[in-house]
Amino acid sequence: MRLAVVQHRDSPPDLARNLARGLTSLQEAADRGAELALFPELFLTGYYLDEEMVRRAAGVPAALERMQAAVDQLGVSAVLGTPVFRRELLLNAVAVLRPGKPPDLYAKTHLFRGEKKWFTPGDRFWNGTVAGWPCGVAVCYELGFPEVSRCLALAGARLLLVPAAWGRPRADVWHIATAARALENGCFLAAAGQAGTNGTIEFLGESRVVGPYGDTLAQAGGEDALLVVDLDAAEVDRARGGDRGGHTYFVDRRPGLYGPIGTID
């Protein structure tokens, strides 16, 4: 599968402009033969935690319809972050758009710091098939919770999709966590980060694709970027295979010992 990871610098607090940039990037991904394009966290509105973001969220359904139309026309799936209202609740959501299928939504379950003031956390994870691959979605801060990625992998995910808006001061954590989540689950991980600034936060950028051995397959810097990477499903089989040269983490699991992990205070 050919994957495209989209990174934009200084995404503005402007739904129409971000939608236009998204459509352009989706077209570029299609032109380069990608079957799936991954965008950052809160991509459509920009990562701004304020009343204006809430007002922009009201226009998201129409923007998603436009993105879905482009997905259908180009035959390229898109996974992108956006605020979404579910009744009166505002979610830090990820839209999963696939050609010829109704959109799916995942709501971020582990909110980071100031996000808790604005969003309601989700209560379930998302697994599904995107561009023929079993995928799971985690968002930014959720990289720091190994349980999230492990649950997704145990549910069948062979590719973890991570929209993010990661701060530059935590760059070391970004590199370690993305590699660790891929390595320990023997799967590919693609992370699309915001770059530049929103006026108060300096974002890291450095969107990346990591292989099932924790190896970096592609990485952006701090500017606009479109990473295009070919993923080989056989690499996941080898990594999880144990006797086929893999690292045996899946083979040697002892689930009977892990029961207390969800109950420790």
Catalytic status, residue 135: no
What 8-state DSSP symbol labels residue 167? B
Q: Is-contact 212 235, C-beta < 8 A?
A: yes
Q: Where are the alpha helices (DSSP H) in the chain?
A: 15-31, 51-57, 60-74, 146-154, 171-185, 233-240
Length of the chain, in residues? 265
- Give the β-pairing of 188-193 and 133-137: unpaired
Rounded Cα gap, residues 265 and 261, in angstroms? 9
The residue assigned the tokens 């370690």 is 176
Crossing angle of helices 171-185/146-154, nearest 10°?
30
Question: Could you report how far apart the first and last alpha carbons of the chain are, in Å?
Answer: 41
What 8-state DSSP symbol labels residue 122? P
Provide the edge-to-edge strand list for the sheet that holds 208-210: 126-130, 133-137, 159-164, 188-193, 208-210, 216-219
Rounded Cα gap, residues 42 and 65, in angstroms? 16
Which member of 108, 135, 187, 206 is catalytic? 108
Which member of 41, 115, 206, 235 is catalytic? 41
Catalytic status, residue 41: yes
Catalytic status, residue 140: yes
Which member of 35, 115, 135, 140 is catalytic? 140
258 contacts: CB under 8 Å, gap ≥ 6: none
> Closest by alpha carbon to 94, among 160, 187, 11, 23?
160
Q: Which residues are catalytic?
A: 41, 108, 140
